[in-house]
Structure 1
């Protein structure tokens, strides 16, 4: 919709008066939810005298109500929604909310059917339809609830008139469940008192659980929200609190059904999608500041606010918002920016327009307890969500098949926003480790998928949830970073700015961005060899990425689709035959060369003579791996050993990551990859070390149950000894290193030294943990080191250490500290402790639902815990799936996490059997993860068979 869309004042007044007047009906609602819930949801709501139509019980038909997408016959314009969440259970122990909603919609094409989403809501009054034009509204013939497709189907005796507007009014009751979706409840204890929060998570398809709505991103409208709540609580929504005293009485505190409540009404929203709605009732505290008349507030548990845990988020939010205003060249479109930390939240954060919701670990920071990593997580996630306020909220994708554009873009520019807030961190470099290398591992599978799919391939809610994966976020970020690099940032931002200005308050497809970037290219001196769309469609519409091979003897450059197992074939055909237009930045013995474009499978270009070494993909701005002829590999290995500073630090990490993965694919020898780690004995930079440890972790997964483990431990221990000694001299383990990434590398030095048996490290860790156990009120362990120390101490200890950690976990009031302890308890070496811990994940009073799957994954990461976690998940699959699987964006991580160590034929058959045995239950958003796990296990089996003997020999005698 265009910028000029607005509500006529008469319609707005009518809607708000309707909402206010209809509260009398809410007062009169006498049907408790437990009774309504027991009714068959397939039954119709039967208006008096209406002719009813039974819900189809046969296979899905071509009828509109059996389709997953709404017909384009109706277009919503405005909603008036009034909700009353009950923060105390009813007589049956259920928490409920009551509500009424009216939606004004325009009839685009004449129809005798109104389809509107409604899920797990019970209508308590016959819906009514009112015409807002000159003609009367058709009579409702029947109303049918379709639970599978989550529609309320309203059949009319006559057709609606095209071009006319109508209003549909509903009253309903729903459960304020603890399922982390839609309108749900979060619980916590403060000073021994149980507190309940009513909050929301609408993305992607759960607004329909809060009120009947046209729940698709392209169905934008204006929303008027009113909340009834206890006077001791505060209500929040997307809009600011609205003074409507000239329409309503001045009273905001009224008695409803013998209950004294506060009525909070909010200003109408901008035109927006349903998935960006938010409304919350809590007794949270807040801190605030105003910047250029923009109100910025941080909400959290009062205890957390009093402890100053919101101060860091408040200090960076204004800086980041102002950065994005300049970056987009569009003013922040709202009068306020609220951010709230919730005790129970399934995602990391959600970009609801004007009211962003977070996990506590993603927003709250304690100077004494939180680590450097916690701080980085907070600033990058804040930047990610604030980036969405324009890219995603102001301009929104038309359908979820283009989710990558939303999330990939925010995942890229979060580094730019965070860099503005923390300019000394060099945080922009970390996208290579956090996103590019991370997603390479998934995108190298034949069961990967393109960034953008056809709309018809993404239909059902579980299919939509499945798209929220590493490909959409990290590959999206990686290819957009590449695009910005070869266009130049100036051209990229110019195209982005005109795109946002042109489509604000509207919906787009990804090619709309290409068109505006092309206009920017055409008006600049930038000269890519093909159009933006021609180049980028190859990165967006086909899965995977190329490995570019440079032969320095012949000057020949080739590209091939990189697959972890070259014997597999992609599940999807490609119209581009898995060829890409590849921008190659490169240097010849430290002399930067002009950007070179590889436009076909094979090209001849480079002429190298003598002993000059060549390095391609400088700073890993391109989304591809690089291979060389053997002579150039030897030259690079020699440079790493003798003058590593000649190679940029990012590329030192790249050489390791490329070599190990090329070896996994059988393209180069595994021993060559292992040799890229020899220089680490003198390396002190974080990125090369982290790259090496990430890749050696695969060797641990494959070999920590074999004879390779001992020699590998000896080798890694020898390499890390120099790093451990370096930080001992630099910090004496009492001080922080000066640099941001140096602090990360200090943690690596401690963690790896302890895990490989370094006695000095073990003594340090045991001493610190014992001191803490002796005096639980004083933790002597530095915040940055706690994760590593806790894990090492618990792994080396027994029941006493584990129980102490659990006690501290239960007492902790800082979410990041709870997370550290929760992960560390999975490091235990005693199987019975891990089995007990697994059982705790089924009890939300012990492990919150939001943390259950990640706790199981942590246990599975432990070589002792992996078979226990696998058995546990198989034995409890139905329960786990029903509790966490259906709508969880992170659920696929569980399947990948518990199977990543699989490398035997027996484990492969178990995995296949698990898939087959549970097909009737389903895997929800984990369907693709099952395929990927089977493919990865098959590749692991081949790799171990081909490499175990060679790897053993090399670790015994590294060359």
Structure 2
């Protein structure tokens, strides 16, 4: 192979006789060899980065020096890198084999996000040192190097921390670089910073040098080969709580000074995860430390980021403040860390080659998050969360505007849009199904082989399937391709069932569950090989329903003559349409099923009814069969279904009153049993259920709960800490929703005065939750000021859209430029779509269509999805309300 490279290089040299230098020849760029998409010329690649930055947090700017060892694989006059909002002062190229530095001419293209460095003559193949001196901007939103302001926990004085967020394409705001996942290289980072502050990066600091003017230079250890989006830097008045995780690895929680024991639960949760994943994947953690860095504020794009060795997480889901943290906070702290630590292997050690395979990162981290949580906290019932995740994915996947798990990504905007429920939740659901197909031991063996083969490198989805098949799962690739390469949801129809001799035989037919795709396009149903687990009182039977064989029809025989349950264990990604008689039997038997099967059966049938595949009454009968003393996670899910039904009856007061009475009959006794105050030794799901029942009854306007909320709220006048505890946000939320102007002003005053960045953010956001549109308008106007904080305002606007989507939509359009400055660039194409998702108003359709007419093609997808869902709701919602009203026994007027 070397001879071919030499011939190619010599041919290029002949074509370009004015070659600047002849240095050792190198192999062709691996990006080109792998056939992976790139928007760079592919004639150069990084071998090592040395970057030094000097941030000025006051001026919101920084200077930088990048020294990049590169390999040039073919003669070229220009080296092209990625760069955004960077000004290059000087660039030189020095041959590694010796020779004078060559001055390069720099030209940036903001639209393309590229930096072109042109030499006076062609650059020959070989190895070089590329040195660039540049300046950059510190942002106010989480893109690139950004600042977060917050009240000091000890003094209350406003202080500023600096952090980075680079995924998917914002490392190029930090330094000129090859900012694509496949361009892996080691990094050596240093920073000139105030001597009194703590600097944090992917690796430990190996040297600190005092400098004049109260500064110091901190140099960090070289990283392993890694992608640019995983680089990390933070600076501020921090403290670090640390402990050993396993031999040679220390973990730490880095948080604003004064956090103290608020970091304890996170630290104690983080430490066991490292050896757990090292064992599961069969690969040691390759860095000496793993920090999780808490940042105040929030993002509309992400909650945490898996930077290798230096995770970043927003404080609200990393630190546990006893004054305001809820049971859901504790759950989020654990599951978020479980997700990000899983990424240290699936994403960091082995990285997808390009954003087409983003799900290899996110779907697997979501799946491992659930597996790890269930391992360490089985009483949290983590696998039941996959039912909610599956439904969330199917909510998007049932429309023609959906996309496959493995999708084509070509631009930065398309990459930003790829972080959705298909990538995360459908990815997790499909992985769970494939693990069940292969068997846990075979599946794990395949993952270990995959990690060993691909570590410190890149991969594509089929690399994983090949490893699992080789480990002992023949046929897995065909099933996996059906669920990852084509979009949509299989529909398994039970067309007949017969019990004879203690065995039940089912006649099945495969179709496709769709909300609009086939109706609008006349398309034929897609086909899948669907792995199923079927039971009728006996042991579940494994079967494959092949949609391409026998016109998608098959039969399955199982032991037992009890109610038949397809998708036992809820491990499959498909919907099941039962005969009406079978549903009646399932409703009677439902309390005897496992909680996860009860949860899945109810959610599946409500979705089928809403979409018009069956009447609504049988689905509501299943919901009503969930007992009030059900598993707390199941109870929470059932109560959310009732809440959604109640919300839909906003223009049907008689039906809403009837439903309120029905909800109270089942769920008030559960609330009374739980009480308003936390109890010793209660489980986390029970504590979470309390917050959901209290908050839910408060939203319903329950007189007892509303009176109690206002009574407690009034106590704050005499004692500002009267509400402190895990229910504080719940009580504030109830008052905020039903607020008078006096109460709204009081909440704002509490937000203004709070010395907690999380509480301040929470209370400002709740101001936009009011039912009174006049109060919400005050909140929207406030969001455009500096008062709430740079990253809180977008959250306020998003909150306003919950009860007032049309009003919020008009506000965002009227103040589009101002609002966009409040939203991190990665989520701008999706922010307005989120507002539309809350609407049921036909008047919004032409407004959205008009807005979309001016969008770039690669920015249209989120709005197309939101518009399709809105149009479908306008058709389905009246049918749903009619069925709900009839089920409640309320006559139409």
| TM-score between both structures, scaled by the size of structure 2 | 0.89
In structure 1, runs of 5+ residues without a counterpart are 1-49, 51-66, 90-94, 244-250
Aligned-partner Cα distance in 2 for 1:348–1:509: 26
Answering whether residue 543 of structure 2 is matched by residue 596 of structure 1, we say yes
Aligned to 1:269: 223
Aligned to 1:364: 319
For the Cα contact (< 8 Å) 1:319–1:420, is it kept in 2?
no
Give the superposition deviation at 1:536: 0.2
Answering whether residue 434 of structure 2 is matched by residue 483 of structure 1, we say yes
Aligned to 1:511: 462
Correspondent of 1:868 among 784, 807, 810: 807
Give the superposition deviation at 1:858: 1.7
Give the superposition deviation at 1:592: 2.4
Correspondent of 2:266 among 301, 313, 336: 313
SS for the counterpart of 1:667 is: coil
Give the superposition deviation at 1:649: 0.9
Aligned-partner Cα distance in 2 for 1:381–1:734: 24
Answering whether residue 483 of structure 2 is matched by residue 539 of structure 1, we say yes
Give the superposition deviation at 1:805: 1.9
Aligned to 2:686: 742
Aligned-partner Cα distance in 2 for 1:219–1:829: 50
Aligned to 1:58: none
For the Cα contact (< 8 Å) 1:856–1:869, is it kept in 2?
yes
Correspondent of 2:306 among 319, 337, 351: 351
Aligned-partner Cα distance in 2 for 1:180–1:682: 43
The residue correspondences of 1:620-639 to structure 2 (distance < 5 A) are 620-639=570-589
Give the superposition deviation at 1:674: 2.3
Give the superposition deviation at 1:603: 2.5
Aligned to 1:59: none
Cα deviation per residue 1:826-875 (whole Å; 9 max; x = unaligned)? 332332211111122223431432x333322222212xx33321221121
Aligned-partner Cα distance in 2 for 1:106–1:86: 33
Aligned to 1:549: 493
Aligned to 1:445: 399
Correspondent of 2:749 among 788, 799, 807: 807
Answering whether residue 211 of structure 2 is matched by residue 254 of structure 1, we say yes
Aligned to 1:341: 294
SS for the counterpart of 1:551 is: strand
Aligned to 2:534: 586
Answering whether residue 337 of structure 2 is matched by residue 382 of structure 1, we say yes
Aligned to 2:40: 70
For the Cα contact (< 8 Å) 1:656–1:691, is it kept in 2?
no
Correspondent of 1:906 among 825, 831, 843: 843
Aligned to 2:355: 400
SS for the counterpart of 1:480 is: helix
For the Cα contact (< 8 Å) 1:611–1:635, is it kept in 2?
no
Aligned-partner Cα distance in 2 for 1:754–1:172: 55
| TM-score between both structures, scaled by the size of structure 1 | 0.83
Aligned-partner Cα distance in 2 for 1:417–1:358: 19
In structure 2, do the counterparts of structure 1 residues 361 and 122 end up closer, same or farther at CA, with 3 Å as the change threshold? same
The residue correspondences of 1:722-737 to structure 2 (distance < 5 A) are 722-731=666-675, 733=677, 735=679
Cα deviation per residue 1:141-194 (whole Å; 9 max; x = unaligned)? 7432222112111223433333x2011111111122213211222222322433
In structure 2, do the counterparts of structure 1 residues 752 and 483 end up closer, same or farther at CA, with 3 Å as the change threshold? same
Cα deviation per residue 1:795-842 (whole Å; 9 max; x = unaligned)? 333122222222223344445544543443333233221111112222
Aligned-partner Cα distance in 1 for 2:82–2:836: 37
SS for the counterpart of 1:445 is: coil
Aligned-partner Cα distance in 2 for 1:86–1:545: 51
Aligned-partner Cα distance in 1 for 2:119–2:187: 26
Aligned-partner Cα distance in 1 for 2:609–2:487: 21
Give the superposition deviation at 1:375: 0.4
Answering whether residue 137 of structure 2 is matched by residue 175 of structure 1, we say yes
- Mean Cα displacement is larger for which, 68-77 or 350-359? 68-77
Aligned-partner Cα distance in 2 for 1:923–1:795: 38
Aligned-partner Cα distance in 1 for 2:644–2:512: 22
Aligned-partner Cα distance in 2 for 1:688–1:100: 55
- Mean Cα displacement is larger for which, 317-326 or 414-423? 414-423
Aligned-partner Cα distance in 1 for 2:882–2:61: 62
In structure 2, do the counterparts of structure 1 residues 844 and 502 end up closer, same or farther at CA, with 3 Å as the change threshold? farther
Aligned to 1:200: 164
Cα deviation per residue 1:708-758 (whole Å; 9 max; x = unaligned)? x44134324323333222332354645367232222222232233333343
Correspondent of 1:953 among 874, 882, 886: 886
SS for the counterpart of 1:606 is: strand
Aligned-partner Cα distance in 2 for 1:273–1:351: 12
Aligned length in residues: 841
Answering whether residue 50 of structure 2 is matched by residue 80 of structure 1, we say yes
Answering whether residue 284 of structure 2 is matched by residue 331 of structure 1, we say yes
Aligned to 2:799: 858
SS for the counterpart of 1:951 is: helix
Answering whether residue 623 of structure 2 is matched by residue 668 of structure 1, we say no
Give the superposition deviation at 1:612: 3.3
Answering whether residue 877 of structure 2 is matched by residue 944 of structure 1, we say yes
Aligned-partner Cα distance in 2 for 1:88–1:882: 19
In structure 2, do the counterparts of structure 1 residues 826 and 804 end up closer, same or farther at CA, with 3 Å as the change threshold? same
SS for the counterpart of 1:281 is: strand
Correspondent of 1:155 among 102, 114, 118: 118
SS for the counterpart of 1:104 is: strand
SS for the counterpart of 2:526 is: coil
Aligned to 1:213: 177
Aligned-partner Cα distance in 2 for 1:844–1:662: 46
Aligned-partner Cα distance in 2 for 1:253–1:68: 42
SS for the counterpart of 2:826 is: coil
Answering whether residue 446 of structure 2 is matched by residue 474 of structure 1, we say no
SS for the counterpart of 1:902 is: coil
Aligned-partner Cα distance in 2 for 1:948–1:132: 73
In structure 2, do the counterparts of structure 1 residues 550 and 682 end up closer, same or farther at CA, with 3 Å as the change threshold? same
For the Cα contact (< 8 Å) 2:324–2:729, is it kept in 1?
no
For the Cα contact (< 8 Å) 2:493–2:510, is it kept in 1?
yes
Aligned-partner Cα distance in 1 for 2:438–2:754: 49
Aligned to 2:6: none
Give the superposition deviation at 1:599: 1.1
Aligned-partner Cα distance in 1 for 2:40–2:222: 25
Answering whether residue 777 of structure 2 is matched by residue 835 of structure 1, we say yes
For the Cα contact (< 8 Å) 1:295–1:335, is it kept in 2?
yes
For the Cα contact (< 8 Å) 1:201–1:350, is it kept in 2?
yes
For the Cα contact (< 8 Å) 2:430–2:483, is it kept in 1?
yes
For the Cα contact (< 8 Å) 2:535–2:558, is it kept in 1?
no
Give the superposition deviation at 1:538: 0.7
- Mean Cα displacement is larger for which, 897-906 or 657-666? 897-906
Give the superposition deviation at 1:885: 5.9
In structure 2, do the counterparts of structure 1 residues 304 and 460 end up closer, same or farther at CA, with 3 Å as the change threshold? same
For the Cα contact (< 8 Å) 1:104–1:166, is it kept in 2?
yes
SS for the counterpart of 1:592 is: coil
Aligned to 1:14: none
For the Cα contact (< 8 Å) 2:232–2:307, is it kept in 1?
yes
For the Cα contact (< 8 Å) 2:491–2:575, is it kept in 1?
yes
Cα deviation per residue 1:772-813 (whole Å; 9 max; x = unaligned)? 344223326x51x33332222233331222222222233444
